[in-house]
Structure 1
Amino acid sequence: MAGKTLFDKIWEKHVVDNVAGGPSVLYIDRHLVHEVTSPQAFGGLKARGIKVRRPDKTVATPDHNIPTMEQHLPIHDELSRFQVNKLKENCEAYGVQMYGLNHPYNGIVHVIGPELGITQPGMTIVCGDSHTSTHGAFGSIAFGIGTSEVEMVLATQCLMQTRPKTMRISVEGQLKKGVLAKDIVLYIISQISTGGATGYFVEFAGSAIRSLSMEGRMTICNMSIEMGARGGMIAPDDTTIEYVKGREFAPKGTEWDKKVAEWKQLPSDADAVFDKELTFKAEDIEPMITYGTNPGMGIGVSHHIPEVKDIEAATQTTFKKSLAYMGFDAGDAMIGKKVDYVFVGSCTNGRIEDLRLFAQFVKGKKKADNITAWIVPGSKQVEKQAEEEGLREVLEEAGFYLRQPGCSACLAMNDDKIPEGKYAVSTSNRNFEGRQGPGARTMLASPLTAAATAIKGVITDPRSML
């Protein structure tokens, strides 16, 4: 009998029942909730007179709609204020733990789960948010769900799911100077397209992936969604175990030893068979930047935008439309292009490691006058750590300001919107038309490329300054 993949092992352990010729009923270990996709779900429970089945397995935090300045004041935007207040009301009514605005554990849901030890290997984790795949970095099956499914999990702690196919993407070799996890994932998406992993759950493997910190692994799994995957995951190892150990809600004492022994059995067996396998060489990857309006339209920062003739015939119309929106021409160099805003943050790159990298790079330098920079920690804990490590001072001396935590300029649901026609280099995950504000033009990049750009005022290869 063939060995099992990491995905197989977790999935099989969580199947409660199988519908003949249909989906599986999957038990959910952790349900993460935020203010945008939960009001209708809680409303559905209320209408049917149902309780939350396992409030102890449910954790809530407002993140999408919260401002990242003056959080001690009432939220100015009426809809945002309503949604955040509704979450508080619902959590109180149903006995769900919520880390509200100004709570020391508040932050982006996909940042606080890991840092609090709520996210653990071998789990099934869901949230009404596509980037739930972030938690797969711990060796868990984590994926986003819709509002009706949020209601289903609240009511039953289970979910109807069709089993996806499995894919392994290996990145082998040593990363070159200035190349971060964000560059790896943008490179993979540029190679396989935004639909290249549709229908699959992807396991990322290989020596380059194993060399990454947990923060880097979370960045990779976070953006597995942008290649069309149902989710991404990385097998737990010593790096994972070391990260989880001692965190607030991590197992303790003998329970810890028992869990670690279980987690060590999770990695895919040597003879496990995947439905599809892809391999990339780490040395082929350079700092990446996007030039279009989806995360697959990315190139090495030193490259030129492709010519129309080099684009597949079927996507040429989209390609031209994309360039027209961005105000770019085919064949343009990316280096030297003007930029107005730099955003460092989001569930992709708002962790302490990201802020450290950015601060290290800008230390002793000065922000370009034409750049408006938003440096946003992913959580109150990240903000506190940045303070304690002296990162705020380093940033301020270089002309930057550390804002308060939240999703911020990732998705324009709060006050942090990029104005129409302006260019932003962003460490977030999506560059769709209007994603960062109506008419905003977004280029995705790593915190290092963002830092180099913020200092020079134009798109810059970070390697030229390292």
Structure 2
Amino acid sequence: MSDARTLFDKVWNARVVVAREDGACLLWIDRHLVHEGSFHGFGMLDHSGRRVRRPDLTFAIADHYVPSHSRALPIADPEAAGLVATLRENARRHGIALFGLDDPRQGIVHVTGPEQGLTLPGLTLVCGDSHTSTHGAFGALAFGIGASEVAHVLATQTLWQRRPKTLRVGIEGTPHPHVAAKDLILAVIARIGAAGAVGHVIEYAGPAIRAMGMEARMTICNMSIEAGGRAGMVAPDDTTFAWLAGRPCAPKGAGWDAALAAWKALPSDAGARFDREVTLDAAAIAPTVTWGTSPETALPVTARVPDPDAAEDVARRRQIAEQLAYMGLAAGAPLEGTPIDRVFIGSCTNGRLPDLRAAAAVLKGRRARVPGLVVPGSVAVKRAAEAEGLDRIFTAAGLVWGEPGCSMCVGMNGDLVPPGQRCAATSNRNFVGRQGPGARTHLMSPAMAAAAAVAGAIADVRKIVA
């Protein structure tokens, strides 16, 4: 029997405190990130009369409900103001570090955590948010948890979990210019389906992944949940180590040397077995957009809207028809040229500096035909973008430059797409009502969203910048 282990095996095995006979394992949690929505977990903790077990491993970050258009206090919306204030008070009472609205570390939890070096290879990391899988780009085992699980981690710094299966997604070859990480992960989800990775942790591998910077790897891992995966991971390498070096919370000196030696042993061993394997050719993937109400409804921008009558079974025909009705699309119509009403560039999927650079490169010297909002993923990203003049490119194009936060991705902070309007968005979900009641969302990369802004319609970025 082979002793070869996967990256997941190594991280999981090292964090098991105890394993029950029924297969459940109590895992040690290295990092716990909380945001405004974590108030349920703190309420359960208070009800039980417990304190946070490890406040030094817990970090509070305001992101979901913070305003995008002003940092002036108090926050105008009473619900948002109350939730931000509750997070601040919970952090104060329990001695937890808070990245609040006046903190230069503030941003979307899945952007600022890695920026600060809180996310490190080989760690377990949880947060009450499904896109916690983002942090797996560093070789961490990171996943979202529910309210009762948040309370359990707050109280014990551990969590009961059942060992998931493993899925290796290999992306071979080299993508064409203007094909971004967002295009690749949408192609993966379209290939395996929205439930294709249920019960699995995905390890992304192959030459296309290895050639990516850390921000692109975070985009890939971020959307693992959209394929039903429990988590997504990329083995750490020299790209990872270079990105982490010098981060505020990363190890220093001899601690860095020791950590580096441990991290270099994390990649999957030669001959390690996965429960499933899927391979895609990056060179065969075109700029990609969604047409329906699930990320799995992704097609090349050159494709046509599917025809329900072409589906093989009744249930699938009904599903396609319902999605087309909601999205206001005609069967067989070309995706390219579909008019849009507005653009959103940001989110924990695509709100990092390289994402903003990609969008600005398309918009430079051009005007948007529709209104749009560009929201950096963190204060650090915002400052870096402004130092490069990216904000001036966006505003010159007619778009609004916002303040860091989740913004229009989640539609719970005042940034909404009006009913019936169509938005080209760089976020991670295009569910019914995700960006507001009746909103119609098309997911795409930052460059593609910028191209849509210029064209006033879904456009092939390769033609805009040719």
Per the TM superposition, whether the score is higher than 0.5 is yes
Deviations 1:284-322 (A, max 9, x none): 100000000000011000110122243341322111100
Deviations 1:32-78 (A, max 9, x none): 00001x11211111122111000000001111111101112311222
Alignment of 1:352-391 (within 5 A): 352-368=353-369, 371-391=370-390
Corresponding position of 1:70: 70
Corresponding position of 1:346: 347
Deviations 1:375-394 (A, max 9, x none): 00001111111111111122
d(CA) in 1 for partners of 2:65, 2:130: 16
d(CA) in 2 for partners of 1:455, 1:239: 34
Corresponding position of 1:202: 202
What residue ranges of structure 2 are gaps of 5+ in the alignment?
none
Please tell me whether residue 310 in structure 1 is matched to residue 310 in structure 2.
Answer: yes
Corresponding position of 2:33: 32
Please tell me whether residue 427 in structure 1 is matched to residue 415 in structure 2.
Answer: no
d(CA) in 1 for partners of 2:50, 2:253: 36
What residue ranges of structure 1 are gaps of 5+ in the alignment?
none
d(CA) in 1 for partners of 2:284, 2:331: 23
Corresponding position of 1:411: 410
d(CA) in 1 for partners of 2:62, 2:312: 42
Corresponding position of 2:256: 256
8 A Cα contact 2:23 2:163, kept in partner = no
Change (3 A) 1:390 1:149: same
Please tell me whether residue 154 in structure 1 is matched to residue 154 in structure 2.
Answer: yes
SS at match of 1:323: helix
SS at match of 2:83: helix
SS at match of 1:154: helix
8 A Cα contact 2:308 2:316, kept in partner = no
Deviations 1:86-130 (A, max 9, x none): 101111001111111121011100000111111000000000000
Corresponding position of 1:19: 20
Alignment of 1:312-327 (within 5 A): 312-313=312-313, 314-327=315-328
Deviations 1:406-433 (A, max 9, x none): 1000111101000000000000000000
8 A Cα contact 1:72 1:102, kept in partner = no
Please tell me whether residue 450 in structure 1 is matched to residue 455 in structure 2.
Answer: no
SS at match of 1:417: coil
Corresponding position of 2:458: 459
SS at match of 1:202: strand
**Alpha-carbon deviation of 1:169?**
0.4
d(CA) in 1 for partners of 2:311, 2:118: 44
| Aligned sequence identity (%) | 51
d(CA) in 2 for partners of 1:133, 1:204: 12
AA partner of residue 453 (structure 2): A
AA partner of residue 447 (structure 1): P
8 A Cα contact 2:289 2:299, kept in partner = yes
Q: Greater shift after overlay, 388-397 or 275-284?
A: 388-397
AA partner of residue 12 (structure 2): W
AA partner of residue 422 (structure 1): Q
8 A Cα contact 1:189 1:227, kept in partner = yes
AA partner of residue 398 (structure 1): A
Corresponding position of 1:178: 178
Please tell me whether residue 167 in structure 1 is matched to residue 158 in structure 2.
Answer: no
Residues paired across the two proteins, number: 463
Please tell me whether residue 400 in structure 1 is matched to residue 405 in structure 2.
Answer: no
8 A Cα contact 2:31 2:125, kept in partner = yes
SS at match of 2:89: helix
d(CA) in 2 for partners of 1:255, 1:196: 40
SS at match of 2:133: helix
Corresponding position of 1:218: 218
8 A Cα contact 2:308 2:318, kept in partner = no
Deviations 1:200-254 (A, max 9, x none): 0000000011111101000000000000000100000111001100011110001
Deviations 1:150-190 (A, max 9, x none): 00000000000000000100000010121000000001111
d(CA) in 1 for partners of 2:359, 2:206: 27
8 A Cα contact 1:426 1:444, kept in partner = yes
AA partner of residue 115 (structure 2): E
d(CA) in 1 for partners of 2:382, 2:356: 9
Corresponding position of 1:90: 90
Deviations 1:243-292 (A, max 9, x none): 10001111000110111111100000011000001111111100000000
Kindly report structure 1 stretches of 4+ aligned residues shifted beyond 6 Å.
Answer: none
Alignment of 1:240-319 (within 5 A): 240-313=240-313, 314-319=315-320
d(CA) in 1 for partners of 2:438, 2:202: 33
